[in-house]
Amino acid sequence: MIVEADGPFDFKKTYNYMKQQDDCLYNVVDETVRKAAVINGYKVLFEVTGAPCGANVEVLVNEGADESDIQNYVRDWFDLAYDLNDFYAHVENDDRLSPHLNTLYGFRMLAYVDIADAFMWAVLGQQINMKFAYVLKRRVIEHFNRHVLYEDVKYYLMPSAEELAALPTETFRDMQISTRKAEYLKGVMAEIDKGPLSKKSLLKFDSYDEVLKFMTSHRGIGPWSANTVLMRSLKYRNAVPVGDAGLKNVFIKTDSIEKPSTAYVEKEMRRYGRHSMYATVYLWETLKE
């Protein structure tokens, strides 16, 4: 089945992005992405390939989810419901972004449909290099060993927030996750499980300011982590990962500043308004060139 994109979508570019990451919650090979997930309570394994106007989805294993729910999952995951032309129209004359729009044309943000995944990554990713952060994530996922087996290959599933909240701190320590991060993770996962930090409840807030304030009132969730989750899971298109090291590196190049302050970067990024999220994602990509 085909999931159509609103505006340009270049599957290959998002595919290449996914290939560079080392996220064990999807499997990337031969221009195809496979992912196991629990959708609407049912275990599903599906694969995604590029299609002329969107993504092509093949379901390999399905324990009972509706096809429309799987389509919606893919639409959310690859952010296909967003009109990317709206972003391009806004930044076509932007000095930082315009030189890269041709190269990045059709590239879309890869989202975290599962908010526990988004929060876990936000906490694990704090202050350490990404390679190591992925090692830590993989250790957590493999520890639970929840998976869908298909043609002798394991496709890992994200453990539930409840399971993560119950994991002893010393088990996290054995994985070389710091005591502090273990506490952050357990606390956040418990709040997802209980409800306050669940996707459903966070989506009920009516303003960015309010939801940001609520999220950052939780221990371990600062402005960077909250905005990361707002971007990648809740799709707040005006979110900015305040304090982000990568974004500072972008500004060293684009604005020729030796050491950009968090305040300066935030002020400049806020000028992108409702396009801040895509501005961020695109500027991160420019660092790889």
Partner DNA sequence: AACCAGGTACCTA
Partner DNA sequence: TAGGTACATGGT
Residues that bind DNA (CB under 7 A): 21, 122, 125-132, 135, 176, 178-180, 216, 218-226, 228, 241-246, 248-249, 280-281, 284
Q: From the CB of 178, what's the least distance to DNA, in Å?
A: 3
Q: From the CB of 277, what's the least distance to DNA, in Å?
A: 10
Q: From the CB of 219, what's the least distance to DNA, in Å?
A: 5
Distances (CA, A) of 157 to 10, 99, 101, 162, 192: 26, 39, 34, 14, 17
215 phi/psi in degrees, rounded to 5:
-65, -45
Token representation of residue 57? 């989805």
Pick the closer one to DNA by CB: 27 or 225.
225
Residue type, 229: V
Pick the closer one to DNA by CB: 42 or 264.
264
Give the Cα separation of 51 and 61 in Å (integer): 21
Which residues is 34 bridged to in the sheet? 27, 47
Q: From the CB of 51, what's the least distance to DNA, in Å?
A: 25
Pick the closer one to DNA by CB: 63 or 267.
267
Q: From the CB of 238, what's the least distance to DNA, in Å?
A: 15
Question: Using an 8 Å Cβ cutoff, are 192 and 207 in contact?
Answer: no
According to DSSP, residue 83 is labeled -
Token representation of residue 278? 């895509």
Pick the closer one to DNA by CB: 51 or 135.
135
261 phi/psi in degrees, rounded to 5:
-80, 155
Pick the closer one to DNA by CB: 57 or 221.
221
Give the Cα separation of 271 and 264 in Å (integer): 11
Q: From the CB of 284, what's the least distance to DNA, in Å?
A: 5
Pick the closer one to DNA by CB: 100 or 147.
100
DSSP 111-150: P-SSHHHHHHHHHHTTTS-HHHHHHHHHHHHHHHT-EEEE
